[in-house]
Amino acid sequence: MAARILVVEDDRHLASLLQRVLEGEGFSVSVVHDGAAGLSMAASGAYDLVVLDVMLPGMDGFCVCERLREAGSTVSILMLTVKNGIKDKVEGLERGADDYLTKPFEVEELLARIRALLRRSRNYKSVINLGRLTVDPIKRRVYLDGKRVDLSPKEFDILELLARNRGRVLGERVILEEVWGETRVKSSILKVYMHHLRQKLGDTKGTLIQTVRGVGYMLNVP
């Protein structure tokens, strides 16, 4: 099921652009243009993430964020604003935002931050049991045949991503975006991490983490 995103942005041109970009990435997107409507929709529990502008008519984004947290909402919140002072960023985070992005921004960075927030959200934290392999995203532990495997943070992130997409080939670009938050990291770095990950999993022949030449990688758990 596609992640559901609510965009709360009073700049209608930007809101429309964000909707097109996010829907083009496969997300389900709703848009509202004022704080009160944003609060009402975000509080409904129907969304996985809220892209929330600070400068909104009627009720600003800081207030919307604070009221959501006071009501017990755990929805992920990414705040957007032209305010770039440290004080404003701190205020947004202290009011309950999970991340903060200053306008103008690059679409690639926005998408990377959204994906990172969705990975960390409670909806993506269930333990993954795949036959011989168990991945626990909360404790960040991995077990193979009942024995714990110690991984570095990046190795764990790669394996978790592959585990959540078991049987699906993920391209290098997708993995770089999801794990590193950008695609400027050289693919040779990813190959090094894959090598170490396979070594720790005893997968020297590449049967557990399969390489699909010219495409990417796929987790295959018998």
pLDDT digits (tens, 9 = 90+) for 191-204: 999 999 999 999 98
Highest mean pLDDT of the ranges 35-44, 159-168, 175-184: 35-44
| Dist. CA 31–CA 37, nearest whole Å | 10
User: Residue 124: its pLDDT value, please?
Assistant: 56
Q: Is the pLDDT of residue 86 over 60?
A: yes
Residues in CB range of 110: below 8 A, 6 or more apart: 18, 21, 51, 78, 101
- What's the pLDDT at 2? 67
**Residue 216 reports pLDDT greater than 70:** yes
* Residue 150 pLDDT level (bands cut at 50, 70, 90): very high
CATH of 127-219, one of 3.40.50.2000, 3.40.50.970, 3.40.50.300, 1.10.10.10: 1.10.10.10
Hey, do 4-123 and 127-219 end up sharing a CATH topology, with the first three levels equal?
no
Average pLDDT of the residues in 82-102: 82
d(CA 47, CA 32): 13
Let me know: does 77 contact 65? Beta carbons within 8 Å: yes
**6 has a pLDDT exceeding 60:** yes
122 Cβ contact list (under 8 Å, min separation 6) = 74
Q: Quick one: pLDDT at residue 182?
A: 66
For the segment 88-116, the average pLDDT, to the nearest whole number, is 87
User: Above 60 in pLDDT, residue 123?
Assistant: no
Top mean pLDDT of 5-14, 64-73, 154-163 is at 5-14
- Rounded Cα distance between 73 and 121, Å, is 12
Structure tokens at 160: 């978790």
Q: What is the mean pLDDT of residues 24-40?
A: 93
Right CATH for 4-123 from 3.90.550.10, 3.40.190.10, 3.40.50.2300, 3.30.2020.30: 3.40.50.2300
pTM of the predicted model as reported, rounded to 2 decimal places: 0.57
For residues 20-34, average pLDDT: 92
CA proximity to 33, closest of 70, 16, 8, 61? 8
Q: Where are the domains of the chain?
A: 4-123, 127-219
